[in-house]
Amino acid sequence: MKLLKNNSFNILTFFKDNSVPVMFVLICAVCIPVAGFPLQYLLSEIITRIGRNAFLILALLIPIMAGMGLNFGMTLGAMAGEIGLIFVCDWRIYGIPGIVLAMIISIPISVLLGWLCGTIMNMAKGREMITGYIMNYFINGIYQLIVLFCMGSIIPIKHSDILLPRGYGIRVTVDLINMRQSLDNLIAVRIGMIKIPVFTFILIALMCLFIVWFRKTKLGQDMRAVGQDMEVARATGITVERTRIISIIMSTVLAGFGMIIYLQNIGSLTTYTAHSQIGMFCIAALLVGGASVDKASIGNVFLGVILFHLMFIVAPNAGAAITGDSMIGEYFRVFVSYGVITVALAMYEAKKRRAKSLAGRKLAQAQKEEAK
């Protein structure tokens, strides 16, 4: 233990343990002045994006608690949310009732997909991330089958304006104009140019409270136990597999709600692509906020949303200012998302190895002390 009790070493470990957020703070610190946006604009954008994304990212926390890593399976919930929105749109139910109904429709679909995902992840313990990622492609195929071929032909769709001209299949873009920002505008406060979507923030706050409360429940405690050591948990009679499935189902249902909140803010649904990268961006944002594969907090979520999206906002302009090409920013954002995930995964392994070599050093030290 003596090895670590050193002040300068502590600062070093702080940077080592938080290298990803620190790196992003630096990137933003460089990009913000180069991009030259007014502060007011930046603030307004950030607030919009917190409202838009935070709920989705919060949905990732529960599987991490249960030791299932970063849950790419959340995309399944996003698809369920989209299906809910398509139906509500067709039935011409507008505003808040529409959103609530879409959420209700999404629940059974999310539960079913979550159960499927959890069951498969139980067969592939330790490889949950890649399993979830590949599951996305598989379920995306089924989603397309339903939305592109079944809707309008087998599943009745009344209004042809959301159908493709050929008579079946949903259009590439579904206009959500009647629901657009209806949550955000329910209670909205304006301070100067900045609009604060108070109601959405209340929902996010409720979600945070839910997570805090959930950690205190028996189920939450069981999930934490399962997450840290499945065998020990099983030996005390905790139903490990069931607990893991429940955690994925909860995450999927919440991701469905999150996706609806996300889309009502955007105001339109790009039917076939909206969900495709949402999982990756959410995970990248969470990692930027300093989370790791086995540990994430509510604080990580908000720090992550702010840093990741701040970079998104300023990077295109900064890129354009430096290279004269605005495409570089778009390129940068995809590149960074994948990069962050890769780095976080590699660091997770490196950390484990570091802990292992520490045990060796301790042994050597003990031997030296004995020799004295």
- Which residues are at the interface with other proteins (CB under 8 A)? 213, 216-219, 221-222, 224-225, 228-229, 231-233, 235-238, 356-357, 359-360, 363-364, 366-367, 370-371
Q: For other proteins, give the closer residue by CB, 7 or 367.
A: 367
Q: How far is the CB of 359 from other proteins (least distance, A)?
A: 5
Q: How far is the CB of 216 from other proteins (least distance, A)?
A: 5
Q: For other proteins, give the closer residue by CB, 7 or 236.
A: 236
CA distance 92 to 88: 6
Residues 6 or more apart whose CB falls under 8 angstroms from that of 372 comprise none
Q: For other proteins, give the closer residue by CB, 166 or 368.
A: 368
224, exposed or middle or buried, with CB in 10 Å at 0-12, 13-18, 19+?
middle
Q: How far is the CB of 234 from other proteins (least distance, A)?
A: 10
52, exposed or middle or buried, with CB in 10 Å at 0-12, 13-18, 19+?
buried
Q: How far is the CB of 344 from other proteins (least distance, A)?
A: 20
Q: For other proteins, give the closer residue by CB, 195 or 351.
A: 351
Q: How far is the CB of 350 from other proteins (least distance, A)?
A: 16
CA distance 196 to 193: 10
193, exposed or middle or buried, with CB in 10 Å at 0-12, 13-18, 19+?
exposed
Q: For other proteins, give the closer residue by CB, 293 or 313.
A: 293
- For 208, the enclosing helix (H) or strand (E) is helix 198-215
Q: How far is the CB of 360 from other proteins (least distance, A)?
A: 4
Task: Report in angstroms the alpha-carbon separations of 42 from 111, 132, 333.
Answer: 37, 34, 17
- For 196, the enclosing helix (H) or strand (E) is strand 194-197
To the nearest 10°, report the CA torsion of 284, 147, 167, 91: -90
Residue with tokens 């030259």: 36
Q: For other proteins, give the closer residue by CB, 1 or 39.
A: 1
Q: For other proteins, give the closer residue by CB, 229 or 325.
A: 229
CA distance 172 to 166: 13
Identity at 262, one-letter amino acid code: Y
Q: For other proteins, give the closer residue by CB, 35 or 240.
A: 240
Identity at 137, one-letter amino acid code: Y
Q: How far is the CB of 80 from other proteins (least distance, A)?
A: 20
Helix (H/G/I), strand (E/B), else coil: 173? strand
Q: For other proteins, give the closer residue by CB, 233 or 344.
A: 233
23, exposed or middle or buried, with CB in 10 Å at 0-12, 13-18, 19+?
middle
Query: Token pair of 114, please?
Result: 């979550």
Q: How far is the CB of 13 from other proteins (least distance, A)?
A: 16
Q: How far is the CB of 271 from other proteins (least distance, A)?
A: 33
